[in-house]
Every structure is written in structure tokens, then in C-alpha cells.
Structure 1
Amino acid sequence: MVSVENKRVEDMNYFELLAWLGIGSSHPGGFPATKLNLETVQIKSESYVLDAGCGSGLTACHLAKTTGCQIIGIDISPQMIEKATQRAKKEGVSHLIEFRVADVAHLPFAENSFDWVIAESITVFLDKVQVYKEFYRVLKPEGQVADLEMALLHELPAPLKPQLAECFGPSTNPLSFEEWCHSITEAGFQNVEIKNPQPLKNNGNLIASELKKDWILIKDLADKVSKQPGLIPRLQKNVSFTRRTQGYFGFGLIYGRKPTPPAPPVSPRLGFKRWLLNLIHAKQAK
């Protein structure tokens, strides 16, 4: 198998491209949407958080710095985990965050482990209900999920669907807000809602905009461009598609809460008289 570092950029899939660039906020709305959503959900310092699909660790490090909570960040890409670990050390929060390689659809954690699961633009590429069931499994009772995802505001015309797959991968499947809510509800979550829904507009090339803002990425960007001249045309194709279709898409934070399981029924306590009568009836029946 050819490693990402040895592939031509034209041959990389979307996830490989992000891993190679080290981008952690290529989701709709970029890092401003991340900060708005974290301010909305108000994660506490005592919370134990799973960042599912953590990318290069930008969100996890920001959350650790602003709340002081304990976080585990996972990503399927070893390159991303390496960059995330580097970021946490550089930003002085490695004592609060553990990063490890793992698959969000098959989480290596016990049931009832986390207070929060956060995710950003990962579920759109996967089996929604399966992923949400995994989130449900590892959350504690009353635990909460907050998942920033792209949504369809209008049905995408058939000719544009192959272009969506070409730019972002064949598994890309944004749902309507109603369908997103149905998927997370089907997994067992309650109090489901879409927080901070917005149309996708004026976002341009999310990859390029994040490259400009993130110090850990910009330092070796020139070297990447010189080694991979196909990078610029690849990014231009993505931004062209986004600009032509942005009226069809929006994004929002899919939110849900894992309920506390109902308590088992308590058998009524028998009074002495009832206990004695039951004992007599039992002896008579023998």
C-alpha cells in the first residue's frame, strides 16, 4: 500500500488530502463555527470528552485551553494523530489530552465512559445510525453529543451528485436537518435538535482558508506546493464546486442526550400478616 506521503495529490482521496495537509477545521463554517458551537453547548471543566475524528487537534486543544477538561481525541489517520500530538505539546495542553488512532464507527472504549462526544464533519461520510449508536454506547447516562455536519437545504440536482462525490469522496451523503434528527433519534438519543443552523455561504475554499489561519499548517505549505504542483488545481476544483452549489447546503450542530435508563421495578415489601398467609398457603398446597 502506498503511503499518503508518497502519493500524488491528484490520487489522494479527500481524507488523505486533509491528513497530508494536516487540516483540522475543513468543516462547514470553519473554526469560527467550532468556537460558536462550543460556546453554545458549554462543556464544563469536570467533563470527560471524546473528540471523534479530531483531525490535527485544533478543536481539542482549544477546548482544553478554554475549559481545562480532560479529552481523548481519535482519528483514523496516523498522520493526523501525529500532528495533533505535536499541537498539544506546542500549546501546553498535552496533560489534558490523549490522542490515539481509532475508528469512530468502532470505538475502542467501554460503555458509559464519556460525558460528551463532539464531532465535526465526519458522520456525513459514514453510516449515520451506526456512528450515533457507537456515540450512544460510550456516553454515560445523561451524556451529550454535539456533531457539526453539512446538511441539504434543497435536493441536489442529479448532474451535481457525481461532482460532489468527485470532490469529497463517493461516501459523502449530507442529509436534510430533518433526516439528521431522525438518524440520531433512531440511535436512541433524546432532546434532539439542530443548534446554530446556518446556510453555507461566503465560505469559499474551506481548505485554503484554514491553511492561512493555522500556524502548524502554513509553515510547510510552500514546500508541499513545490513538491506537489497538482495541489493548487485540486483545491481550485473544490472551491469551484462549493461556490456553484453553496445555495443547496447548510450546516448545523446535531445535538442529542442519552437518557438515564429506567430503574428496575421494586417489589412491594410484604407486611408480616401477608407473609404469614403466603407461608400458610404454600404449606397447604404441598
Structure 2
Amino acid sequence: MNYFELLAWLGIGSSHPGGFPATQQNLEVIQVKAEDYVLDAGCGSGLTACHLAKTRGCKIIAVDINPQMVEKACLRAEKEGVSHLVQFKQADVNNLPFADNHFDLVIAESITVFLDKVKVYQEFYRVLKPEGRVADLEMVLLAELPPHLRRQMEACFGSDTNPLPPEEWLNALTQAGFQDVMIKNPQRMKNNGNVIMNELKKDWVLVKGLAEKAAYLPSLITRLQKNAGFMKKNRAYFGFGLVCGRKPTPTPPPKKAGFRDWIRQALQWKYTRSYSTKVL
């Protein structure tokens, strides 16, 4: 299994930097309202979407490209009593199956770091209503990563893993058309142990059947420890934050002058010219 297949097999939905505590902090910063229509892009096992539905009462559509994640997310929503607020779909964030100007808010957690940033943000921009917001929790580079550490990182998390310095994250949002771009709630990577293993212990969706899965894949713990060990050893290079932006209201095109406007302008020009001649 690659890293993403492993996460989907386990059903882990909070493998992002800071884990679920960072999610809770960010939701406070975003200030989601009950009337907001929210897209959770790359929802994993639905932990964030279900928590948001329970605590804010807003309607959410959540998508993930992996069918195993969608299945686990649906189970979570049903067990937690929020199926009437949260709908889960299998979809690719690069090609979302929604109309333009559809959502008030798009949230994401550690998916854009593995993808073409500008392309993903352009798709978020498309499905957002004017004045809609994007809030994307992502890993940030605090210092240039030496080549050997970049190779180690890619070996742990996949060859497409590409965290950016803060200014490059903001530039990607700007290129996609967003305004008021900023990184909210920035933090350095903490030495808080293995985030994934901590989530495994707390989340009932993940604990279910875990013993059988560990027996089936004995190298599971070793694999997770290797990934956690890389981040722990090299955490000085990494931070994380909420990459935010706003979709502006489009400026209406200039009104074309009609026949009456043309007559009015002609009379005004004639009057102005006549008055100027008399003065002179």
C-alpha cells in the first residue's frame, strides 16, 4: 500500500498536521454559520464534516476520491445522527461535480500539498459563490528542505508531496483569483508524538476492526512509526496553517451608451463649447 491507500484502509481522517485539535481550532477561526453551505474537499472518513454538522448545524457536502473513505464517512454520519445535514460523494477535487457559484465555504485539510495547487484552487474558486471563502489547512515549509530530506519525505508520504513556503501558498491562491489571501492560525510543527496513532486510539470508526487489520498487516505499526519519526526528527523545517482567501464579487461590465446617452453627450459638448467661446 502507498500512504494514501494505507490511510483509506484504516479510515484515518485526521492525518493532517496538528490532527483533530488543529481542526477544532481552525473551525473557530473560520466562524462557520448555520446558514452556510459548505464543501469539505478531501473529507477522509468524515470526522471534520460530522463534527461541523453537530456543532454548527450547517449543511455540508463532503467528497473524497477513495470509495473506502466515503463508505466509512457515511457510516460515521449515520451513527452520529447527522445524515440529514451531511452528504458524502466520491469525487476528484480537480473536477468537482458541482455547478459554478454553489457553496459559501470550501474547507480542505492536507490534500492540496499533494496536488497542483493553482489547479485545485481554481476549481474551489469556480464552485464558490461570490464572496465565498476557502480555508485550507496545509503544511508550510519554514526553511528550504535539503535534497536528501526531500527524498526521505517523498519516500514516507509519496512522490507528489510538495509543501510550500507561506508566500508561495498565498501566491497560488492569488493566481486562482482569490483576494484577501492570508495564512490564519500559523503554527510550528509540534513534537506531539505520532498524530495518526493518537487518532487511532480516540476514533471509534478507526478502532473498529483495528486488531484484525494489524494482524493482517504486521508491518502497519512500523510503517506509521517511520512516517512519524521523519516528522519528529525534522519538524524544525515544517509548520502548518490555514490558507485562506475570498472570491470577490465580479465587477459588472461598463454600460454601453445608447442613443439618448449619445444625444445628451453631444448637447453637453455643444453647450460647453459655446460657453467657452463666449467667455474668450
Task: Give distance in 1, aligned partners of 2:80 and 2:71.
Answer: 14
Contact 1:47 1:70 in 2 (8 A): yes
Alignment of 1:1-286 (within 5 A): 12-267=1-256, 274=263
Conserved 8 A contact 1:195-1:252: yes
CA distance in 2, matches of 1:264, 1:235: 54
**Per-residue deviation at 1:219?**
2.4
**Residue 131 of structure 2 aligns to which amino acid in structure 1?**
E
Equivalent residue number for residue 281 of structure 1 = none
What percentage of residue pairs aligned between the two structures are identical?
67
Q: Scaled by the length of structure 1, what TM-score is found?
A: 0.90
For 1:142, the aligned partner's letter is E
Mapped to 1, the partners of 2:195 and 2:216 lie a distance apart of: 22
8 Å contact kept, 1:205–1:242: no
Separation of aligned partners in 2, 1:170 and 1:273: 62
Q: Deviation at 1:59?
A: 0.2
Tell me the secondary structure at the aligned position of residue 99 of structure 1.
strand
Deviation per residue, 1:7-36 (Å, 9 max, x gap): xxxxx1111011001000000010010011
Quote the residue 1:5 is aligned against.
Answer: none
Cα gap change, 1:94 to 1:163, in 2 (>3 Å) = same
Q: Distance in 1 between matches of 2:29 and 2:186?
A: 12
- Distance of aligned partners of 1:191 and 1:231 in 2 relative to their CA distance in 1, 3 Å threshold: same
Following superposition, the deviation at residue 117 of structure 1 comes to 0.4
Change (3 A) 1:50 1:272: closer
Q: Distance in 1 between matches of 2:139 and 2:222?
A: 24
Which runs of no fewer than 5 residues in structure 2 stay unpaired? 268-280
Task: For 1:182 and 1:272, locate their aligned partners in 2 and report how far apart those are by CA, in whole Å.
Answer: 42
**Structure 1 residue aligned with 2:275:** none
**What is the deviation of 1:203?**
3.0
- Aligned residues between the structures: 266
Decide whether aligned partners of structure 1 residues 241 and 273 sit closer, same or farther in structure 2, where only a CA change above 3 A counts.
closer
CA distance in 1, matches of 2:51, 2:228: 27
The alpha-carbon distance between structure 1 residues 70 and 273, as it changes in their structure 2 partners (threshold 3 A), is closer
In the superposition, relative to structure 1, how do residues 97 and 270 fare at CA in structure 2: closer, same or farther (>3 Å)?
A: same
* Distance in 1 of aligned mates of 2:148 and 2:253: 54
Q: Structure 2: how far apart are the matches of 1:135 and 1:273?
A: 43
**C-alpha separation in 1, matches of 2:118 and 2:111:** 13
CA displacement at 1:155 relative to structure 2: 0.8
**Partners of 1:29 and 1:272 in 2: how far apart?**
61
The answer (yes or no) to whether the contact 1:198–1:251 under 8 Å persists in 2 is yes
**In structure 2, what is the Cα distance between the partners aligned to 1:274 and 1:229?**
85
Assess if the C-alpha contact under 8 Å between 1:204 and 1:242 holds in 2. no
- Deviation string 1:63-85 (CA, Å, 9 cap, x unpaired) is 00111111000000000000000
TM-score (norm 2): 0.92
